[in-house]
Structures are given as structure tokens and as C-alpha cells.
Amino acid sequence: MTTLKNYAVITGAYWAFTLTDGAIRMLVVLYFHQLGYSPLAIASLFLFYEFFGIVTNLVGGWAATRFGLKSTLTIGMALQIIALLMLTAPADYLTIVYVMAAQALSGIAKDLNKMSAKSSIKQLFPPDAKNSSNTLFKWVAILTGSKNTLKGVGFFFGGFLLALYGFQTALVILATGLFIALLLASSLLPASPRKPKHKAKFSQLFSNTAAINWLSAARFFLFGSRDVWFVVALPIYLSSQLNWPFEQIGSFFALWIIGYGIVQACAPALLRYRKQSHHPIDGKSTQQLALLLLLIPVGIALGLDQGLNANAVILAGLALYAIIFALNSAVHSYLIVEWSEHDKVAMNVGFYYMANAGGRLAGTVFSGLVYQYYDLVGCLVVSALFIAIATTLSSKLPHRS
């Protein structure tokens, strides 16, 4: 019962944080668009948000191993509150550099919170627990999927608060709600249940486990393959080529993320994972899913190149892409927790999400660069290349008979 209570508290804290994370993204985009900022200037506001994810995941794993996951979880929430309140400054003070600094703080907070929440799940299971893989996969899938669903809800919530209360008041409401969640998490969560046998050293920041290194490399290219066409190229294409209004584009992306999160949360059931199964979740699972995923950007690119109805091709392709990508991401998130030792879980998860952040950053840069010269079809070709690399890397992962 205590384990279930701690899982509920960790999940609730993660939900509260994620809701503010999605809301602040929508608030910043819409508000600075109203102020007359160009799309490129608005995009630059989030550059440090992504960049500091790489550093935070690496150093955050070390910090969590030394000082405990509860500390990094609550510090992440506190930093997000500071970032929200920083943006309540008068409009004259909201320069690009100032907002980039606030977003950098928010990016650090986000990755501290995510790394801590996912690592904490592993520590809820005793090291010698038997037959826990099924439960662990379900708990990781629910946490990961619900996070993405709530981030999509946060997009709607941010727009709603902006329309109803204005920018500064909306930020204060979000900061107040997260502060309440921080107080609850601090009081309800016990101290880190297990002290590491050895103090973590900076020399141990990079994983020396082959399976985790291969999985992290595959994660880099998996998320790079998504963002290379999804983050910059697709919204611009929908607006400039298909003439979708901004409201429709924003709502579509929010609904896509919500659906993506639901599929992630249901991944154990959709993959029919059972402890008696002859096909357990392992490295072969993510290789097979990556191979299926490879067919989707190739199919969308061929459909657009052949002049088929672009709306139908993109909507159908995105629906399939959401399902397969969400399942693959859920398997990745489970394997990194499953393969990590209890004393090293925070450092391994931090290293893994450092690769995740690096892939997102690379995908974002390539998305704008490739789209500028080769349009959406070019981005889809690069996406397929990234997935092919992720598939090859996944072949190096351990298989269980």
C-alpha cells in the first residue's frame, strides 16, 4: 500500500508539473505572437529550453544519485515556479534574452522532474522482487503516457487562461497551483528509500553498460526522426501550403499529443505484454517497432510526391505514426528503467534522456534547415534515414528468449 501511495504522489507531482509545462509553452507562443514577434524570434525563445535538457539530464542523474530523487523532484518543481514568476515581469522587461533565460530555467526544471519521476518508479520495487517486469512496464507506461496527454491538455489550458485572465495573471495561477503540488509532494513523499552503496562520481556520468549505451543511441535517432519533420516543418507546411488557420494547427497538435499519450499509457495492453508471454518486451521489440515506423514517413513522402490529397495523406500518416511511435517510445522508457540497477537508475535514466534531448535538438535544427531547401518531403526522407539508423542500433540490444 505504501508503494502504491508513493507512486500516486510521484505521478500527481509529475502531472501538475507537466500541465504547467504545456501551458507555459502555449502562453509564450501566443503572447509573443500578439506582441508582434516573428516566428523565428519566437522559436529562438525555446532554444535554451532544449539545450539545457542535455546538460540537466546528465548532471541531474549524478545529483539524484548523491542527494536523492526526492530532492531533484522538488527542486525541479521549485525552479518551474521561479520560471513562471519571472515571466510576470512588465512587458518592457520581456526581452528575447530575458525570456530565453526563463525558458532555460524551465527546461532545467522539466528534465529534473522527468528524470526524478521515472527513476523513482524503479526504486519502488525491491532489488530482489520477482515477476515485477509486468507491473513495472505498466507503471512506466502510465506515467509516460499520462504525461504526454496532460501536456496536450496544458496547451488548451494555457490558451484558455490567456484568453480569460491575460498573460501575467495566467502565470500566477499556474505558479500557485504548482506551489500547492510542491508542498503536497514534499510532505507526502518519504526521503529516498535507498542510499547508494557508493557515492556517485563525475567519472561515472557516462554509462559503461553496453545495453544502455545502445538504447540511448537508438533513442537519439528515434526522437530526432520525429522532430526533424514534426516540430518546425509540419506546422509551417500546414499553414503555408494547406492554408490551415493557427487555431486549427494548435488544436490539431494538442489533440495529437493527447492521443499519443493515451497510446503510450495503453502500450502494455496493446502489446499484449504478459509475464507468461513467449515474446517478452526486450530489444527485439523496439527493433520491430522501429522497422514498422520506418514505413510511415516513407509512405507519406511518396503520397505527397505522387500528388495525392495532402490533407488525407498527412492525417492518415500522422495517426499511424502516433500509434507506432508511442508504442516504441513506451518500450524504450520501460527498458531503460528495467535494465538499470537500483543504485544507478538515476544516472542511467539521466544519461538516456540526455540522448533524448540531443536527438530533439538535432531534429529541430535539421527540421528548419532541410525544410528551407527541400520542403516537407525532404524532411520526411531525413526522418526515414534517422529511423533506419535507430533500427540498426536497436539490433544491438539484448534479446530475451
Q: Give the Å distances, CA to CA, from 74 to 59, 92, 343, 350.
A: 16, 31, 20, 16
pLDDT-above-90 percentage for the chain = 29
Considering only residues 298 and 266, tell me which one the structure prediction assigns the higher pLDDT: 298
Please check the confidence at residue 122 and state whether its pLDDT lies above 80: no
pLDDT tens digits for range 54-79: 778 777 666 666 667 788 888 999 99
Q: Over the stretch 214-255, which tens digit does the pLDDT of each residue have?
A: 999 999 999 999 988 887 788 888 878 898 887 787 788 888
What integer best gives the mean pLDDT of the chain? 82
**Which pLDDT score, from 0 to 100, does residue 276 have?**
47
Q: How many domains does the chain contain in total?
A: 1
User: Would you tell me how many other CB atoms lie within 10 Å of the CB of residue 169?
Assistant: 13
Find cell 511511435 and name the residue: 325
Residues 147, 39: Cα–Cα separation, whole Å: 27
Whole domain around residue 105: which residue ranges? 2-193+204-394
The grid cell for 93 is 522587461
Backbone conformation region of residue 166, classed left if phi is above 0, alpha if psi is from -120 to 50, else beta: left
Residue 399 lies in a domain: no
Helix, strand or coil, per DSSP, at residue 384: helix
Helices 167-188 & 2-34 angle (0-180, nearest 10): 170
Cell (9 digits) for 317: 500518416
| Grid cell at residue 327 | 508504442
* Positive or negative: CA dihedral 263, 269, 274, 279: negative
Kindly report the CATH number assigned to the domain that includes residue 223: 1.20.1250.20
pTM of the model: 0.77
Length of the chain: 401
> Is 130 among the domain residues?
yes
Contact 260/395 with Cβ under 8 angstroms?
no
CA distance 379 to 76: 34
Going from the C-alpha of 344 to that of each of 103, 350, 375, the distances in angstroms are 29, 10, 43
Mind listing the pLDDT tens digit for each residue in 269-320?
Answer: 888 754 445 556 777 889 999 999 999 999 999 999 998 999 999 999 999 9
Tell whether the model's pLDDT for residue 150 goes beyond 70: yes
Distance CA 58, CA 80 (A): 19
198 domain residue, yes or no: no
| 44 Cβ contact list (under 8 Å, min separation 6) | 96, 100
211-245 b/e (C-beta count within 10 Å ≥ 16 → b): bbbbbbbbbbbbbbbbbbbbbbbbbbbbeeeeebe
Q: Give me the pLDDT at residue 320, please.
A: 95
Most confident among 92-106, 138-152, 185-199, 204-218 (mean pLDDT): 92-106
* pLDDT of residue 18 exceeding 70: yes
Nearest to 46 by CA among 360, 259, 325: 360
H helical segments located in 166-201: 167-188
Residue whose cell numbers read 490558451: 159
Weakest-pLDDT range from 13-22, 150-159, 278-287, 372-381: 278-287
Does 206 score more than 50 pLDDT?
yes
**What is the rounded radius of gyration, in angstroms, for the C-alpha atoms of the chain?**
20
C-alpha cell at 52: 539545457
Confidence band for 14, pLDDT divided at 50, 70 and 90 = confident
Confidence label for 401 from pLDDT (cuts 50, 70 and 90)? very low
End-to-end CA distance of the chain: 33
Q: Which is more confident, 13 or 179?
A: 179
